[in-house]
Structure 1
């Protein structure tokens, strides 16, 4: 007993000597009590927690790919699967790590009249499961092309782009934010509040994503997260920051897409917390400046936020199980781009050229645009409804049609007529026929004179020939395209 009292007395004597060493580098308020300031104790505790958390995650990282490993794996995939893959970078992280993307298609790097889908992993540095699963997905598609029907459908009919790590710096630092400690899923312009409106001050990873959507016309996308098991869809916030269900104009479509993922998952749809394994972001976990809402509003891209594992950073030996649980969900989500909705192309009737027109669904306050090159559009819709599809283009008469959308996708091509002014001229025409008025006047001048009567006959013949050639030219594109549709067996094709 005497020994215990002696040790206690000694510890009380020595406490003041240890106090300054503990407080070094921290802020202290002036006090004479001889005890540490409570605000500093909290900071010290947080510092220790961060160190312990880093050590814990660093131990869990054993078996996961490092950033260097990931880059080698991506490049190795690109070489092994060069017939269906292209590797490119959309930018660099704060620390200069390239943000590598794998494009998977039967014609990688070529623009086609097909929908594009993107997967993004590791948005948060301490949620690395997506990095691993997306590499597994890419390799599975490569290994099963022309063997598995689903793999073949995706590669032949979709341009799939996979960014395994949006936040490689955060992964190295074992923390949520990037190297500047910014949460990248709060760094996008917001629809409700004036945050992140100054693009110049956004993080390089954020700006890389924004440039990416300017370059590629994505139809849909998904980002992979961890910490829960649910498919999250817009909106992610509300105008008054309340925690309530707040659906976007395409709420039915998003619920359908989220359910495609959830129902294909091993156990996500069985969730006791989330009915059907899906949730509206605003009713569950409101955020502002998120990537999901920004994609839909500013990028014309339907994005889901997928929480794919209850643990943010599970041990590496769980990765094969997580891949098994999520594989069909990822495949079916990408395939839904061509299996459902309404798709088609838009042409001009006066010359047959593709028109990058707008496509809207009556009753849904959201418009998508056809692509610039091929004027193809891909409007995702929940199956089982009747929809009125409207195509509009400045200078052209709009057209509309009704479709009854079943379980299969519908194909609707539009041929728009130019508006005609009161004077009888076309308001807008994209035709490039070499039969303009100046050429005709020069021809008249050349042929006038003694042979005037013969000149008029020759002019008339030339005009008729040129008109006939222009007619053939403007119909060729449309007829060739429609014939191609029939030859490849496109179902439910409608021309309006």
Structure 2
């Protein structure tokens, strides 16, 4: 009988109506309720699951929109908000983005393209414990920024240069990894993401990697710390910014006395702005997933009446950003003798330092600008190969259907 009433409740609060009404912030429990109700009632194929728990035991729930089902070669993206507990606008933006995809799936060609061709994972709050300590209306400061153990989660990931942000031996650092960061790392181990965004507050800018410098000389001279894929990374940042009405024009935050938060074109290299050791953005890139840090509000915890503006101005940029997962190359790696897919094969674009790996089904993806590239593929027990591949050019109005590349590796004799 209780389940009967629960189903009635879900049907009554259809996903298109869950977030209607006046602007308000949703509590941690309300976010969980929304994700569950959406998954139960949406006509889209969805799944809600937890990637782990916060220090206080609150589940870190993710909504997966999985319209492609088990189709091979479908890229995965993730959108994460609230890594800093007091930067809260992103939570609400992601809830409304979910609702936007549901309501516009049948009528909007770009929405249909994204939902039909990309697996979309959304984590509205990565730091629910910090959010619980945050203060509504507080635009600056750090109250609620950290997790329950007083760690800044955006300094808690392995650092590709220094090992960790704390300057301690790696054994000691491993004991300092917080459950929220550990959950993200385990999640990324299970799923080969090609694209990611982390939504922040405190400025209005698209921040692209790297966030850290490779040497003290670079740090002192304030050089940009650019990735080998800067052409792609910069294009992704521009795609978001050029779709955003305000960020694209440059926003000067009211309390920014010295102009440290002002970016004329709405773009910045992370390390050129300020250095971050142990950041999630750099960890993603080195692991094979391009992530941007999107600062979408000057005020970290603005009054609810401001939310309507933030929701409206970020929906289209998120949509266009997500569609970039369909640019570049994709394929599978096989054993030439058994024709079985090879998991954990290592791939890299020749001339670009960092590698990426195949999924358990032998799939791979890489966002690339149009052009020809040499792709080197290696796997334990196999002879390596290098193949010439091409990333095609598509117009912004197209829904790209990238051809699958098939690569065979010969076992070593």
Contact 1:91/1:208 (<8 A) preserved: yes
Which of 280, 285, 294 is residue 274 of structure 2 equivalent to?
285
* CA pair 212-417 structure 1, distance change in 2 beyond 3 A: closer
Shifted more, 400-409 versus 185-194: the winner is 400-409
Equivalent residue runs for 1:87-106 within 5 Å: 87-106=48-67
Deviations 1:31-79 (A, max 9, x none): xxxxxxxxxxxxxxxxxxxxxxxxxxxxxxx921111221211111111
Match among 380, 383, 400 for residue 396 of structure 1? 383
1:416 maps to which residue?
A: 408
1:165 alignment partner, SS class: coil
Describe the SS at the equivalent of 1:222: strand
Residues 130-170 of structure 1, C-alpha deviation per residue, up to 9 Å, x if partnerless?
11111111111122223321221112111111000001111
Structure 2 runs not aligned, ≥5 long: 1-22, 135-143, 252-261
Cα distance between partner residues in 1 of 2:351 and 2:118: 28
Greater relative contact order (Cα 8 A, min sep 6): structure 1 or 2? 2
- In structure 2, the residue matched to 1:160 is 120
CA distance in 1, matches of 2:185, 2:367: 22
* TM-score, normalization by structure 2: 0.81
In structure 2, the CA distance between the partners of 1:402 and 1:295, relative to structure 1 (3 Å rule), is: closer
| Pair 1:208-2:183 in alignment | yes
Aligned to 2:265, what secondary structure does the other structure show?
helix
Partner residue in 2 for 1:348: 335
Compute the TM-score of the two structures, normalised by the length of structure 1.
Answer: 0.68
The answer to whether structure 1 residue 69 and structure 2 residue 16 are counterparts is: no
SS in 2 for 1:389: strand
Distance 1:337 1:328 in 2: 15
Deviating more after overlay: 361-370 vs 343-352: 343-352
CA distance in 1, matches of 2:235, 2:68: 29
SS at match of 2:162: coil
The equivalent residue for 1:367 is 355
Q: 1:400 to 1:170 in 2, by over 3 A?
A: same
Residue 126 of structure 1 is matched in structure 2 by 86
In the TM superposition, what is the alpha-carbon distance from 1:276 to its structure 2 partner?
A: 2.9
Question: Is 1:180–2:149 an aligned residue pair?
Answer: yes
Match of 2:198 in 1: 223
Counterpart contact for 1:399–1:416, Cα < 8 Å: no
CA distance in 2, matches of 1:331, 1:290: 25
Are 1:85 and 2:85 matched, yes or no? no
Q: Which residue does the alignment assign to 1:117? A: 77
- Show CA shifts across 1:425-472 (max 9, x none): x73xxxxxxxxxxxxxxxxxxxxxxxxxxxxxxxxxxxxxxxxxxxxx
Partner of 1:329: 317
Partner Cα separation in structure 2 for residue 334 and residue 83 of structure 1: 17
How big is the shift at 1:184? 0.8
- Comparing 76-85 with 189-198, greater Cα deviation is found at 189-198
Matched positions, count: 355
Indicate the SS of the match to 2:296: strand
Is this contact kept in 2: 1:220–1:301, CA < 8 A?
Answer: yes
Secondary structure, aligned partner of 2:161: coil
CA distance 1:403–1:140, shift in 2 (3 Å):
same
SS in structure 2 at match of 1:136:
helix
Note the C-alpha offset of 1:111.
7.1
Q: Which moved more, 1:272-281 or 1:282-291?
A: 272-281
Aligned with 2:97 (options 131, 134, 137): 137
Alpha-carbon RMSD across the aligned residues, in angstroms, is 2.1
Contact 1:84 1:142 in 2 (8 A): no
Asked if the contact 1:269–1:277 (Cα under 8 Å) also holds between the matched residues in 2, the reply is yes
CA distance in 1, matches of 2:162, 2:384: 37
Render the CA deviation track for 1:238-280: whole Å, top value 9, x for unaligned.
1324433111111111111111111111121221732532110
Instruction: State the Cα distance separating 1:388 from its structure 2 match.
Output: 2.4
Q: Which has the higher helix share?
A: 1
> Where does structure 1 lack aligned partners over 5 or more consecutive residues?
1-61, 420-425, 428-496
8 Å contact kept, 2:329–2:391: no
Instruction: Report the 3-state secondary structure (helix = DSSP H, G, I; strand = E; otherwise coil) of the residue aligned with 1:90.
Output: strand
Name the CA distance, whole Å, in 2 between partners of 1:255 and 1:363: 18
Q: Is the 8 A contact 1:237 1:281 kept in 2?
A: yes
CA distance in 2, matches of 1:257, 1:403: 19
Q: CA deviation at 1:188?
A: 1.1
Moved over 4 A (4+): none
Give the equivalent residue in structure 2 for 1:439. none
8 Å CA contact retained: 2:334, 2:408: yes
Question: Per-residue deviation at 1:364?
Answer: 1.1
What CA deviation, in whole Å up to 9, does each residue of 1:52-111 have, x standing for no partner?
A: xxxxxxxxxx92111122121111111112642101111111111111110011156x57
Structure 1 residues 386 and 274: alpha-carbon distance in aligned structure 2, compared to 1, 3 A threshold: farther
Q: Deviations over 1:151-194 (max 9, x none)?
A: 21112111111000001111110111111221111111112224
